[in-house]
Structure 1
């Protein structure tokens, strides 16, 4: 029920039985923007007094089916962005926590995740597979080393699916609008056009995105969709849908201040450990894109951590943009190719 309410109210929610106070007391904590908390206050108070309405909604939700299509790179990279404009490269997606948040009490329909093919068999794709997702990997562009046609592949999978089944609930995990390749008077295979097409065919659409990376086009669509298109921001759910590399069992959503943020996050311990093992095995993989072999090192600390493309990206931004080595967090003066 909490996952349903989190989606509906755009809040992160957690319940804790306060046994140290009184056995029949349950504490409900909420996480989110002040505006969202204020808007949800009456609903949460009514829920605590009389939960029957929410229980009826939850039982109705269990009869629904949701079809999920995820842009792994978009959600993973956006999860690392910090409020001060920097990036924390130790942040990882908690796949199980993310999937459980999107599904809620609903039955899973078609599930597809797309990304670019790494040089090795990185554990993230095995984890998506174990969560019953079809994994669609594309080769990177040989000249630019950037993702090639990942968005178009995922859009194609979703379009083929929604035109062959009865309209229901379509959940998209991305923030990309991708209208830059659309010529005037035409439609391109973009997520925005997928959303408008699904809506025109009678689907209800949910967009799961990080607030900072959510294209403005979706905010406009949400105002025009008459309730059939909803944006669910992942920021309030950060403890459930991410963890930090090399934090072991504490990385699955728990914190020094209290218990795990949710049962789903606590159950993802094996996932974080699997990724940590993969990190140990994949020391030659770029720590930024997690796709290409490392070729460049920071100077003076000599940490070899970046592929060519990411090194060029960091150098283009300069020391002011990303002043610290992503491995040891010490200042760098140059980035050099390590032959």
Structure 2
């Protein structure tokens, strides 16, 4: 059984799902009730493979201790960073990318797969960002997967994943990885045959 390392850009996945994907799938639902279903996202990421490491980086405030506790209960390393004075995220992407590179160097020579949940591909022309670091990780001999909403994925990141690794569209799992609070539960029966 192969080992996977999972790196999860929570804000990117949630915000793109809320703003770009929910209006397509459930245009009449209240966006304030939209939620990401973390168990479903985690299952799509690991797909019954051995999870050697998993990281989610988020930002506070707002504090949501029950959400963060739930993530930790799944066996995921959680790192929370303070927002800036203007309430913007700072350092989330860089923290995840640091964990990615550390795990790559600590596992050189293994057959491990790196799984990244993000659609953010900015910065690659400057040699930084998720795309640039996935190129480094792939050049070290690792397999990789990008799991993201197709409607919000950087075109260069998606193209690179399709050519050199694997791109998994979350639109295929919309009802498994989201729910509408108080109205629609997430479907926990995930059909992995939707992944090529």
Q: Output the TM-score relative to the length of structure 2.
A: 0.85
Alpha-carbon distance between aligned partners in 2 of 1:100 and 1:127, rounded to the nearest angstrom: 14
Alpha-carbon distance between aligned partners in 2 of 1:263 and 1:199, rounded to the nearest angstrom: 28
Q: CA RMSD in A?
A: 2.1
Aligned residues: 183
Whichever structure has more helix as a proportion of its residues is: 2
* 3-state SS of 1:101 partner: helix
1:216 aligns with 2:179: no
Equivalent in the alignment of 2:104? 162
Alpha-carbon distance between aligned partners in 1 of 2:134 and 2:95, rounded to the nearest angstrom: 15
Matches within 5 A, 1:150-299: 150-165=92-107, 166-179=110-123, 183=126, 187-188=127-128, 190-222=129-161, 224-225=163-164, 229-247=165-183, 250-253=184-187, 262=189
Contact 1:113–1:136, Cα closer than 8 Å, also in 2: yes
Go from structure 1 to structure 2 and tell me whether the alpha carbon gap of 1:206 and 1:235 turns closer, same or farther (over 3 Å shift).
same
Q: 1:135 aligns with which of 78, 91, 98?
A: 78
* 3-state SS of 2:97 partner: helix
TM-fit CA distance, 1:150: 0.5
Contact 1:167–1:201, Cα closer than 8 Å, also in 2: no
Equivalent in the alignment of 1:71? 9
Alpha-carbon distance between aligned partners in 2 of 1:90 and 1:246, rounded to the nearest angstrom: 8
**Structure 2 gap ranges (5+):** 192-196
Go from structure 1 to structure 2 and tell me whether the alpha carbon gap of 1:207 and 1:263 turns closer, same or farther (over 3 Å shift).
closer
Contact 1:115–1:136, Cα closer than 8 Å, also in 2: yes
TM-fit CA distance, 1:223: 5.1
Give the structure, 1 or 2, with the largest relative contact order (CA under 8 Å, sep 6 or more). 2
**Structure 1 gap ranges (5+):** 1-62, 254-260, 265-339
Q: Output the TM-score relative to the length of structure 1.
A: 0.51
